[in-house]
């Protein structure tokens, strides 16, 4: 059994959709979690770009769910890149409790640099699924998240199509060269 599964890729690649699909196929009771920092959706919901929504627990640290694990066999985590480094110890604890974890998150930021603790999460995982999006410019496979808003240099600028688009490597390089990056 693959206890720690990671679903990753650029923005708009379908990570949340894949997470919800995997959870829906399970026969076990699960708990769905998202970081408090992710404030894009009103209330305690995880939502796909296709409009599918599920109720989730919002927490600052994954350890906050430990009191809710009675009869829980699986934990689903969305937007894992927004959790702080304590998520690594929390994931190890969940594994020690024989709880399966399915994680969705961006592995790279808009500068194509490792995002949050995702690199460490991936190294801890039993399986990694890398999804691709469609390039906004040429319709090829995209694996880069490009930030359209260059005013903020903060790695944690939360947004959707208002701030980001998916690009293939060629378009990503071209746009970054044009912008002097």
Please give the positions annotated as active site. 79
Reported in sequence order, the residue ranges of the chain that DSSP labels E, i.e. its strands, are: 4-9, 30-35, 45-47, 53-55, 57-59, 74-77, 100-105, 127-131, 133-134, 141-142, 144-147, 164-167
The whole-angstrom separation of Cα 33 and Cα 96 is: 19
Question: 34 is written with which tokens?
Answer: 């998202």
> Taking the C-alpha atoms of 69, 71, 74 and 78 in order, what is their torsion angle to the nearest 10 degrees?
-40
């Amino acid at each position: 059994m693959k206890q720690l599964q990671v679903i990753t890729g650029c923005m708009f690649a379908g990570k949340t959709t894949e997470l919800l699909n995997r959870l829906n196929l399970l026969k076990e009771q699960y708990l769905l979690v998202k970081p408090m920092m992710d404030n894009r959706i009103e209330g305690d919901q995880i939502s796909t770009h296709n409009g599918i929504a599920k109720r989730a627990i919002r927490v600052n640290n994954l350890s906050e769910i430990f009191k809710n694990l009675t009869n829980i066999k699986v934990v689903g985590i969305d937007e894992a890149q927004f959790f702080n480094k304590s998520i690594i110890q929390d994931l190890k604890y969940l594994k020690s409790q024989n709880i399966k974890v399915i994680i969705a998150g961006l592995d790279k930021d808009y500068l194509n640099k490792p995002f949050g603790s995702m690199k460490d999460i991936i190294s801890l995982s039993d399986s990694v699924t890398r999804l691709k999006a469609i390039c906004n410019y040429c319709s090829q496979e995209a694996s880069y998240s490009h930030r359209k808003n260059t005013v903020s240099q903060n790695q944690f600028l939360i947004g959707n199509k208002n701030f980001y688009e998916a690009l293939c490597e060629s378009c990503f390089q071209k746009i970054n060269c044009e912008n002097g990056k």
